Amino acid sequence: MMQNKIIVTLSLTLLMTGCSSQEKLNEKWYQQRWCDQKDGRVEVYLKDKTRCDCLTDDYAIEVDFARKWAEAVGQSLHYSKMTGEQAGILLIVEGNKDKKYLSRLESVIDYHNLPITVWTTNQSELD
């Protein structure tokens, strides 16, 4: 019985780790393609050892999946402070289910008058 629990736990852990790795791989795929199109640099190390996802001549950009919109706000503002460039967020909106997150992001930016530019993308735009 104990052996079955260990196998199930191990299987679930591997499954969850696989999903997490896949999401990071996908985020990097979006990041690389979009940033290349904007003539930006990917994964730029900053003085405080954080990494800006995409740095262009004008913007310090955080790239994230739509459901992580709130994290993207803080990261983009931090990258802006560290680089002196304008804050930007590239939100990966994969379908209708993600539009609610874009709406939340835009409403927070508007409400607080945050200096953040937002772009959206999806796989078909970057293929």
For residue range 23-33, list pLDDT tens digits in order. Answer: 444 789 999 99
* pLDDT tens, residue by residue, 3-49: 544 443 333 333 444 444 444 447 899 999 999 999 999 999 999 99
Look up the pTM and report it: 0.79
Separation CA 80–CA 99 (nearest Å)? 25
The amino acid at 38 = K
One DSSP character per residue, 6-65 reads HHHHHHHHHHHHHHHHHHHHHHHHHHHHHHHHTT-EEEEEPTTS-EEEEE-SSEEEEEEE
Q: Is residue 66 within 8 Å of 89, Cβ to Cβ? A: no
> Cβ distance 66 to 101 under 8 Å?
yes
